[in-house]
Structure 1
């Protein structure tokens, strides 16, 4: 029976080993994406601590600064943190990439970051909420995951100075994400990664069967790495012993990763939880103007007024992310994150009439259906962000180990082949 499981373990590993190694390596890079991005460009995200009497400038003033920085830009959303040292983030759509107006990668969108908080208000993740938005991906590609949003411009809330711009597609993290999700191969690449992930689940399962010791003495040997042994024995221990300790985490990461590879997997989540997958359409604003010149026609709320309304509805939050209306009938979507939120995308949302500020629809995170909440947990579990830094460190270590297992496993296989050939040669000589 062991030979049967060993053959399954071996051949599946040979077929998918390279893909698994790349996925684990890129996953390790992406674990601390948000922290690395903020460490490399702190001026984008933070300002000097303001004086006690300092008050932020009106959002209209900040928007004027963004328009001066990018004259052709269309502002689609704004994200305001309650932390006084955070900059205000403006999401753009179809904007030039620089202040001189040269168009570059129009429509490229900096995402929430693969494994971090959203870079802008329009990039508020719809993970776990079902519907079409949940599966929008790179460049609008269905099921892709991250990427595909316009630039984000960061503005000092006290001076209206533009402190930086983020174009996600131009960062190393976008390349890592493209490799992680689809080996930069589009839909075919996504399919290859998905199939390799399914194989990886069987590899982990058969590996645990092969690891299972027959005696208590063997159990002790398979729980410790003998660092002083020869390189072949050390390679064997690194694969067997560390593989056991990492198996459960790798299985969870691989299983949750299927949600970004297969639509049927997502549908299965909602089917098992008996929850509707499709989100209801956003409500429309009740009062719509006929023409701008019509006497008494309703006037759309200013961004400042919408923010005031949002603060009234949710006074104690980490941030307010406003998605501005696309046309005269759209509503204003406000996403807020509570300080005690379960994870980073466990946001509450409210839709406001863009003319009256009236609440059209409101939903807390707890009011999402079970399928949305289960699906929403996949990303923080998959990235290791579910418990903050401790789980992220575990995720990093496990991803690095996952990268080494195809290497140590290949060496094990080659050593076994050489040993078998020597035996055959001895038999022939005899």
Structure 2
């Protein structure tokens, strides 16, 4: 780096006030870790926000049909047609209920090897339009990349850490940007295109970060409840405090089909284990809503227990036609999914996850009598779950239509731009050795408020707290000889 640039940077740091370089150092460490994840999250999140528009373009011959004046075939007839496209031992597990005149009917089957395949049927003619692997279709891959980098649990934890460290990056970034001396807030929010070289990149990075800060924090906070580690713990805590899932989510209420001939006194109690054939067909004991083959379920009901296979007596189950008619009579007519019962004591599970959280519904319907065993609505949620429901809808770009999608895309791509400008600035400093972090101040102030904030953040997010401690120790041990700032 040139002597002039070094002097300019040193001067800027000196006039910025005590603690500036300490904040910059932590901002650097946070950004160094977060940058690659931000780019991935931005691209995958933007794509997923526009799923309703993108998927018909990717699979037009499967998802899109020509509207016709002739009546649609019944759901049972369509399901029968879909079975012909699958092996004889495939099990129908999900039906997507949509009545848009230009969309095909979709049914999901589980194959012997555990793979799940979607079958698409023309609702007017019954023609098989094709199949898609549920796990390998583009948007599902995009979703899993967004949530866990396609790496399973380790990737899920990495993404959770990246989200938490983004909070550190935003907090320190706003503190570094905050107007000082004679600079006004209005001037600090305007990019200065008259600058050249690294000062221009720094200015663009700072101004862009200031505009995006609030949206970025909202993105992180609305996404974390769905994370694999902290999100599950948070859901359990909210439920135990009666602020999360509705009553019965943890098995305190019976949720099972009442088999004909079963004695009334058995209702709500654990029965003998099912025979081998039933076990193979049905759900495993202890399964929850999140385990069902449903594309999406409301956050509040993720821990609701799935009915267990417990009975012996049999009779003919209700047809899909009758279940859909029943659900329509309850006020849910379109845009929902039904997890089909795959055991003699399973239930029809209806998951309605619309853009408006207040309309969310989860229903359990007895597969023999059609009795509604449980009807969970937004009003049944605790305060935390209601908040998370709104946050989820906004996070996914669903709440107020295309404008919400565009806003989410702007924030996501803006964060990717932040990562890129930060990387450019780092490169322009040409560090002599990696990682090239800003050196410490000779006499840094106590900064008790910031330290307290980091401790609290580490307590709220324990996984992040452990990494905060690890970074602090590494910084002290590996770079303790650094004193004066040298860009």
TM-score class, shorter: 0.7 to 0.9
Work out the CA distance in 2 between the residues paired with 1:234 and 1:216. Answer: 20
Kindly indicate whether residue 257 of structure 2 is the aligned counterpart of residue 285 of structure 1: yes
Per-residue deviation at 1:385?
2.6
Kindly indicate whether residue 279 of structure 2 is the aligned counterpart of residue 300 of structure 1: no
Please give the per-residue CA displacement for 1:131-159, whole angstroms capped at 9, x wherever unaligned: xxxxxxxxxxxxxxxxxxx2221212211
Question: Which residue of the partner structure matches residue 94 of structure 1?
Answer: 111
Work out the CA distance in 2 between the residues paired with 1:32 and 1:327. Answer: 36
Contact 1:26 1:180 in 2 (8 A): yes
Question: Which residue of the partner structure matches residue 36 of structure 2?
Answer: 18
Per-residue deviation at 1:14?
2.0
Work out the CA distance in 1 between the residues paired with 2:344 and 2:65. Answer: 35
Work out the CA distance in 1 between the residues paired with 2:203 and 2:423. Answer: 14
Work out the CA distance in 2 between the residues paired with 1:350 and 1:177. Answer: 26
Name which of 170, 178, 192 aligns with 1:226: 192
Question: Which residue of the partner structure matches residue 84 of structure 1?
Answer: 101
Structure 2 vs 1, CA of residues 3 and 173 (structure 1 numbering), >3 Å: closer, same or farther?
same
TM-score normalized with structure 2 length: 0.66
Structure 2 vs 1, CA of residues 233 and 332 (structure 1 numbering), >3 Å: closer, same or farther?
same
Per-residue deviation at 1:261?
3.2
Name which of 373, 376, 379 aligns with 2:386: 373
Kindly indicate whether residue 359 of structure 2 is the aligned counterpart of residue 342 of structure 1: no
The SS at the match of 2:131 is strand
Per-residue deviation at 1:199?
1.3
Gaps of 5+ in 2: 1-18, 263-312, 437-487
Work out the CA distance in 2 between the residues paired with 1:355 and 1:13. Answer: 57
Work out the CA distance in 2 between the residues paired with 1:392 and 1:10. Answer: 30
* Count of paired positions: 359
Kindly indicate whether residue 48 of structure 2 is the aligned counterpart of residue 48 of structure 1: no
Name which of 110, 117, 120 aligns with 1:154: 120
Question: Which residue of the partner structure matches residue 149 of structure 2?
Answer: 183
Kindly indicate whether residue 27 of structure 2 is the aligned counterpart of residue 27 of structure 1: no
Question: Which residue of the partner structure matches residue 270 of structure 2?
Answer: none
Question: Which residue of the partner structure matches residue 162 of structure 2?
Answer: 196
For residues 225-264 of structure 1, what are the structure 2 equivalents within 5 Å?
Answer: 225-264=191-230
Work out the CA distance in 1 between the residues paired with 2:321 and 2:46. Answer: 40
Per-residue deviation at 1:205?
0.5
Work out the CA distance in 1 between the residues paired with 2:238 and 2:80. Answer: 49
Please give the per-residue CA displacement for 1:205-227, whole angstroms capped at 9, x wherever unaligned: 11111111025644343212233
The SS at the match of 2:135 is helix
Contact 1:282 1:331 in 2 (8 A): no
Contact 2:224 2:230 in 1 (8 A): no
Gaps of 5+ in 1: 96-105, 109-149, 291-295, 422-430
The SS at the match of 1:170 is coil
The SS at the match of 2:84 is helix
Per-residue deviation at 1:87?
2.2
Structure 2 vs 1, CA of residues 59 and 260 (structure 1 numbering), >3 Å: closer, same or farther?
closer
Contact 2:93 2:340 in 1 (8 A): yes
* Structure index of larger Rg: 2
Work out the CA distance in 2 between the residues paired with 1:337 and 1:202. Answer: 33
Contact 1:12 1:203 in 2 (8 A): yes
Name which of 336, 342, 356 aligns with 1:326: 342
TM-score normalized with structure 1 length: 0.74
Work out the CA distance in 2 between the residues paired with 1:371 and 1:288. Answer: 39
Structure 2 vs 1, CA of residues 360 and 260 (structure 1 numbering), >3 Å: closer, same or farther?
closer
Structure 2 vs 1, CA of residues 414 and 61 (structure 1 numbering), >3 Å: closer, same or farther?
closer
Query: What is the Cα-based RMSD across aligned positions, in Å?
Result: 3.0
Work out the CA distance in 1 between the residues paired with 2:111 and 2:385. Answer: 30
Work out the CA distance in 2 between the residues paired with 1:322 and 1:178. Answer: 22
Work out the CA distance in 2 between the residues paired with 1:297 and 1:318. Answer: 31
Please give the per-residue CA displacement for 1:164-208, whole angstroms capped at 9, x wherever unaligned: 323233234344333322233332222222222211111101111
Structure 2 vs 1, CA of residues 81 and 272 (structure 1 numbering), >3 Å: closer, same or farther?
closer
Work out the CA distance in 2 between the residues paired with 1:302 and 1:177. Answer: 33
Structure 2 vs 1, CA of residues 172 and 67 (structure 1 numbering), >3 Å: closer, same or farther?
closer
